[in-house]
Amino acid sequence: MGAALQHTVAEPELAPDRDWWRGAVIYQIYPRSFQDSNGDGIGDLRGIIQRLPYVAELGVDGIWISPFFTSPMKDFGYDVSDYRGIDPMFGKLSDFDDLIKGAHELGLKVMVDGVISHSSDQHPWFVESRSSRTNPKADWYVWADAKPDGTPPNNWLSIFGGSAWQWDTRRMQYYLHNFLAEQPDLNFHNREVQDALLDVIRFWLDRGVDGFRLDTINFYFHSQGLEDNPALRPEERNDQTAPAVNPYNFQDHIYDKSRPENLGFLQRFRAVLDEYPAAASVGEVGDSQRGLEVVAAYTSGGNRVHMCYAFDFLAPEKISASKVRGVLEDFGRVAHDGWACWAFSNHDVVRHATRWGADETDREAYLKLLSALIMSLRGSVCLYQGEELGLTEAELSFDDLQDPYGIRFWPEFKGRDGCRTPMVWERTTKNAGFSDGRPWLPVPADHLPLAVSQQYGDKSSVLEHYRRFIAFRKAHPAFAKGEIEFTAADGDVVAFVRRHGNEGILCVFNLGAENQTFETSLKTETLAGHGFHSERTDDRIKLKPYSAWFGRLL
């Protein structure tokens, strides 16, 4: 397999493509679980370098690497204690420089996680801030006095459960933490904080990164009035941002996130990115009540972030033809000049192979169809490592859990470890080729038949389907850059036309387990190269279960 994965060095660009992100397919790497190079059971930067040819062979445009910064790892790197440092478990700055060089030689862009809404409580900024009420960084985090009875300043809740306020005995005040108590929120109302974070952005851009995935982008600002959030009626609650067992969903979070002041900071952030040849950004929007509206505001106008994703397709609710059309049309209505980045799975949610595919009669065919669907929508795409293998959510015991989220809400919510288990590279090698040591999370036995070694070169495999469809997408610019217009379809069928320049492509998908027929008067020439085998006769397209059809408009 190693010889088959050789990849030629990409030709250098004569001029950077500032628009490379629009329609890009970005592969998310969770470094702890991708490849271990030193036998300690934890993936690292040199492991990523080792596997870069595999990623390039997929045909994706770039990678997004989840946090590898210095951290006490209370939330596995999303609690940063040094924004300019590499945590020793992942390697050194020189390893990162080698990674950038290797990725660029293979034609891959590199995006890194910008975790700037909060830091670790071990960050020097917070250590100083909590030391007194008068130190130079006293206002760098969100501090507030207790109510007269000693209770927190308001009713705001943490996504990890309980109050979003933690009492600090040094300052005799509460500090805000939207996540773990060890993740205090930075005070973006302080211009010095913004300046310091923008300097961090420049540091990584100067090292050669091509952009950022901005964690919890809508959590940067809070209302300085500290008003209580209103309650949501039970019928209004949903579990897109937090699991249903978390009372976080009982509130309408209008004062603790998605504040209008954020637009000004995002414009400052974009101005920094625009100083570089082709830097781009994608923001994560966690807002169950108004996610698409926030995405629209953050990506419209060309002077904020380039693209965002909300949780519309990361939620437990199963994807359907009506939902696909509804989400895309809603986005087009509220943000026609904005840009979305769609994802079905990531490091925070149950893998969609299980979340949606557990009860499907032919899960492999279903997953192939979903991959074609997401890569045909208007927007960019994030693929999560292992998604291209059809990996399912791992079933772990309580004793195996590492995630504080799952430990707290077990067993009703099992946390995020099930989607973070190690990549499976070789079926018969120790720990599936991930590590020579004991992996930080177990390698599930039912993942071994899905290993890269088992699928590579097998034209019928999920892996080869991903490679084939990414190539098909690249061959037709309408998929990456074009507009989208839906057409009437019934039941499990969703159909739309992608248009760009002189090219128009009719795309028809059957998300169901039964044969379907789609009728159209549009004149088309059937396109091949995508791996599906539905047929058109006159005005009728016959769709097999979990199948698709593509035709160029004449």
Residue 373 phi/psi, 5° resolution? -65, -50
Distance CA 323, CA 148 (A): 48
CA 320 to chain centre: 21
Structure tokens, 85: 């440092």
Q: Which of 275, 337, 412, 538 is catalytic?
A: 275
Distance CA 529, CA 531 (A): 6
Distance CA 472, CA 449 (A): 27
519, amino acid identity: E
CA nearest 163: which of 141, 185, 178? 178
Query: What angle, 0 to 180 degrees and rounded to 10, lies between the N-to-C axes of helices 93-105 and 45-58?
Result: 10
Percent composition of the chain: helix, strand, coil (DSSP 3-state, to 5): 30, 20, 50
CB 60 within 8 A of CB 25: yes
554, amino acid identity: L
Q: How far is CA 170 from CA 118, 127, 310, in A?
A: 20, 11, 38
Q: How far is CA 547 from CA 169, 301, 350, 513, 516, in A?
A: 61, 37, 24, 9, 9
Sequence-distant (6+) residues with CB within 8 A of 449 are 427
Q: How far is CA 180 from CA 237, 346, 395, 404, in A?
A: 22, 20, 24, 9
Q: Find the angle CA(50)-CA(350)-CA(459) to the nearest 5 degrees.
A: 55
CB 319 within 8 A of CB 249: no
CB 25 within 8 A of CB 473: yes
Distance CA 495, CA 541 (A): 11
Tokens 């592969």 identify what position?
Answer: 27
3-state secondary structure of 210: coil
Residue 275 annotated as catalytic: yes
Phi-psi sector, 131: left (phi>0), alpha (psi -120 to 50), beta: alpha
Is residue 449 reached through a cis peptide bond, with omega within 30 degrees of 0 on the bond before it? no
Q: Which of 215, 256, 348, 417 is catalytic?
A: 215
CB atoms within 10 A of CB 464: 17
3-state secondary structure of 279: coil
Residue 215 annotated as catalytic: yes
Residues facing 505 on adjacent strands: 498, 552
Distance CA 309, CA 104 (A): 25
Catalytic positions, please? Answer: 215, 275
